[in-house]
Amino acid sequence: MRHMRIKAAVAALGLSLSLAACGDAGSDTGGVDVEAADVSADDFEAGSKMAEIAEAGEITVGVKYDQPGLGFQDASSDIPTGFDVEIAKLLVAALGIDPESDSVTWEETISDNREPYLEEGRVDLVLASYSITDERRQIVGQTGPYFLTGQQVLVAEDSDITGIEDLEGETVCSVTGSTSLENVEAAGAVGAPAETYSQCAEDVLNGTVEAMSTDGSILLGLAAQNEGELKVVGEEFSEERIGVGYSLESPEMCEFINGVLQDAYDDGSWAEAFEATLGGDGVETPEPPALDECPAA
């Protein structure tokens, strides 16, 4: 791969970003406006996945639909909203595709099917609160991280539980196929797998489980959606490195993704995306995390 050609294409992106709104996680902020780069398949290495997507003028991106602030779809929105979606828009635009157009298919992707969807070619990219792990990197490509978070606990508003240490032997919900479920069981709780995070939240609300646990950013969005009924408690007890998934059959995607992310860090569009989705009153915008190096070709 000729790295300079990729960097030239990324630099040509010329993102026109305007902050549409800045509100609490879970609100429909509309995110930021992103214009497609003036690039074509010729701006990428011949035979690369980037050239293939640019030539087709279409892309499919796997995102969550039930995580306010990260990836959320409701009846009033044509496009999912959230920080994961905003980062995906930057990648889509860098390939010359308008992220607001019908040329982008936003495929609902739950925790248990992220690897299969990439392996089967059902999606081109996954940005679905996708924690980077060594085990997953044996199956699919992952790069980033573009966000760091940690696992916490969500309980009913009137609960006396103060953190994961109070849940030894208790039933705690998280989604099937997530690292969160593994961490809950390692902490001594009894894991209760569910298909979606919204189902876990519902189980906490109706008393089926004592608590649910996953990344704090997801829990804050669910708590905001159920204000007065749910609350986030405890310190973070893990570090989750959220990244972008791609097929191992297209290793060239790693340098492209990292180039777009680094440009977003440098030009402030990453911070704007954060402030439009996870930010709000009293929420400090963090420094973007250092990117992993791509595997040697």
- CB-CB neighbours of 137 under 10 Å: 16
Q: How many whole angstroms separate alpha carbon 111 and alpha carbon 126?
A: 10
Q: How many whole angstroms separate alpha carbon 128 and alpha carbon 211?
A: 22
Supply the pLDDT for residue 30. 58
Tokens of 37: 């780069």
Supply the pLDDT for residue 77. 84
DSSP 32: B
The pLDDT averaged over each successive group of 10 residues in the chain (297 residues) is: 39 38 41 90 97 98 93 89 97 97 96 96 97 96 96 96 96 91 94 93 97 92 90 93 97 98 97 90 88 91
Q: How many whole angstroms separate alpha carbon 83 and alpha carbon 26?
A: 11
Model pTM?
0.83
Supply the pLDDT for residue 190. 96
pLDDT in tens, 102-121: 999 999 999 899 999 999 99
